[in-house]
Structure 1
Amino acid sequence: MKAPHEFFAQLQDQVGRVVPDMARAAREDFEQHARAAVSSALARLDLVTREEFDAQSAVLQRTREKVDALERQVAELEKMLAADKD
């Protein structure tokens, strides 16, 4: 029969081999659930990619330039109409 300290040393060795595997599995499980939770949360948000944002910013800039040009044309036409009435 083994001495109690030998038995506990053997038990500790066996548990020591199992625990890292259990810890790794728990960590991997946690990481997988965390990734899924973050992905789910991001999917519910109204987010766009950087490329889409940049593309829309460029469209907005061109639209502003066109509106400014049209406002200048309208102002010129209003001046012309006012001058013709005088």
Structure 2
Amino acid sequence: MITPNKLEQLAQQLGGALPPGLKSAADDFEAKAKTILQSQLSKLDMVSREEFDRQAAVLAKTRMMVEQLEARLAALEAEKGANDDNA
């Protein structure tokens, strides 16, 4: 997620890119750019990096459990098939 410091840096870069004749309005522009960026970014459906990492860990654990269950099921089916052949 973009932090307030990143927004501040981006606003400063945008202000720094203004032509020399507009430098007097740069501070006002930076403030408005920061406000607009914050507003637009808040509308996006994003999660924090921490939440993403948590969900990735849950997914990895779930995949491992599914693989273990698939292996157990295959073993049980093989055992049942062997028992059916012996009967």
TM-score (norm 1): 0.66
1:8-49 residue CA offsets vs partner (Å, 9 max, x unmatched): xxxxxxxxxxxxxx91xx322211111111111211111111
Partner of 2:69: 70
Return the letter of the residue paired with 2:45. Answer: D
Partner of 1:59: 58
Partner of 2:40: 41
| Residue 81 (structure 1) aligned with residue 76 (structure 2) | no
Question: Aligned ranges for residues 20-35 of structure 1 at < 5 Å?
Answer: 23=24, 26-35=25-34
Higher RCO structure, 1 or 2 (CA under 8 Å, sep 6+): 2
RMSD: 1.5
Q: Distance in 1 between matches of 2:39 and 2:61?
A: 35
Q: Distance in 1 between matches of 2:66 and 2:80?
A: 21
Identity of aligned residues (%): 46
Larger Rg: 1
CA drift at 1:75: 0.4
* 3-state SS of 1:48 partner: coil
Partner of 2:17: none
Report the number of matched residues: 63
- Runs of 4+ aligned residues of structure 1 deviating over 4 Å after TM superposition are none
Gapped regions of structure 1 (runs ≥ 5): 1-21
Gapped regions of structure 2 (runs ≥ 5): 1-22
